[in-house]
Amino acid sequence: MNEEVLKQLVKEVLNGNMSLREIESKYHIDRERFKRLAIELLKDRPDLVEKFQKRLSTNKEFSKIELGEEEIRNAFSRLVNGEKGLMDLAAEIGIYYQTLRERIIEYVNNSQDEEIKRRYVEYKQKINPDYSFINFKALIIEMIKDDMSQSEIARTYGIPPRTVSRELDKLKDDEYYESLYRIGKEHSDRKMKRKPFTNLELYLIDNTLSGFDEGPVIIDDSIPKAKLEYLKQKKILEKADSIEGTNKDKAKALGISVSTLRRMRIKVKEYEKLEEQENEEGKEDR
C-alpha cells in the first residue's frame, strides 16, 4: 500500500472518522493487514499505538448503537444549522461517525419535506460545491416520474435550474443513458409547452425508466469514484447476464453496443482482479 495513503487512513482512524469496516469496504484493504501496517507505522510512538487500539475498540462499541427517528431528526437539525460538525455530533451521541452520516442521508432521502432536502443540499454545497453528493441520474428520473419541470426539481433540492440542465446534457454522449437523456429532454420540452404525454407514451416511458437502478438522489460522497463506477457497471453486467441470447442480443436489450458491453466486462474484471491481489497480499502478511 502507498505509504501516503496509509498515513492518511491511519490519521482518519485516530481522529475517529473511519473504522476498519469502512476502510475494508471502500478501499478493499484487508482489515487485519491494515492493523499490522498501521501499528508498524506508529511503532516509534507508543502513545499513538495505544490511541489507535483504543479507537478500534471504541468503534466496535459504537457500531452496536441504534438511533431513533427523533434522535436522527435532532442530529440533522444541529448539523445543518451549524451548531456542531458531524464528528462532534457522533462523539456526543456515542455512535460511529460513518453510521451517523449514513443515517442522516437516509433520513433526507426518505423525507417528503422539501425544506429538509434543501437544507441538507445547502449544507453540503458549502463543503462540496461540485454537487458530488447528488446522483443527478436519479434526480432526472425523479423529475420525470413526478412530472416536474427542471425548475421545480431544482427548487425541491435547492440547486440552480441550469445545473439540472447541464447534468442532463452530459447524458447525451453516454450510450447506456441515451434513452434517459432523450426522455428527459422531451419531458422538459413538453413541460414548457404544457403538452402532456399520452397514456401510451407514459407507459413506454415508465417501462424504460424501470430499467435504470440508480438508487437515491442524495448519496455518500465519501465513496471513491472508482468504486461507484465499478458498482454501476457491475449492475449493468448482472442485468446483461439475466438476458438470454448472444452478446449482441444482450447489448441491444440494454440499448448499448457490443463493444461497450465488452469494455464494461474488461473494466469490472480489472477492478476485481486488483481487489483480489490486495486481499492475497493481506493473507501473505499474516
The half-sphere exposure of 72 on its side-chain side, counting CA atoms within 13 A, is: 19
- Give the Cα separation of 208 and 200 in Å (integer): 12
Angle between helices 114-127 and 69-80 (to 10 degrees): 50
- pTM exceeds cut of 0.75: no
Number of Cβ within a 10 Å radius of residue 249: 13
Find residue 134's DSSP bridge partners.
218
The pLDDT tens digits of the residues spanning 143-179 come to: 999 999 999 999 999 999 999 999 999 999 888 899 9
Residue 134 near residue 220, CB atoms below 8 Å: no
What element of type H or E holds 41?
A: helix 31-41
- Contacts with 261 (C-beta within 8 Å, 6 or more apart), sequence order: 237, 240, 247, 250, 251, 254
Q: What is the mean pLDDT of residues 246-251?
A: 91
Number of Cβ within a 10 Å radius of residue 24: 17
Note the pLDDT of residue 62: 53
Residue with cell 465499478: 230
Q: Which sequence spans correspond to the domains of the chain? A: 3-62, 130-220, 225-284
- Mean pLDDT, the chain, integer: 86
Number of Cβ within a 10 Å radius of residue 193: 8
Q: What is the mean pLDDT of residues 204-219?
A: 91
pLDDT band (50, 70, 90) for residue 253: confident
Tell me which residue of 90, 94, 61 sits closest to 75, measured CA to CA: 90
Does residue 278 register a pLDDT over 90? no
Q: What sign has the CA pseudo-torsion 216, 220, 224, 227?
A: negative
What element of type H or E holds 163?
A: helix 161-170
- Give the Cα separation of 265 and 96 in Å (integer): 36
Residue 117 near residue 108, CB atoms below 8 Å: yes
Does residue 286 register a pLDDT over 50? no
Note the pLDDT of residue 95: 79
As a whole number of Å, the CA-based R_g of the chain is 22
- Give the Cα separation of 116 and 184 in Å (integer): 25
Least confident of 18-22, 61-65, 110-114, 223-227: 61-65
Please provide the DSSP assignment of 92-130 as one string.
HHTS-HHHHHHHHHHHHHH---HHHHHHHHHHHHHH-TT
Distance of CA 248 to the CA centre of its chain: 31
The pLDDT tens digits of the residues spanning 34-61 come to: 888 889 899 899 898 888 888 777 665 5
Q: Which of 48-57, 113-122, 252-261 has the highest mean pLDDT?
A: 113-122
Note the pLDDT of residue 207: 92
Note the pLDDT of residue 63: 54
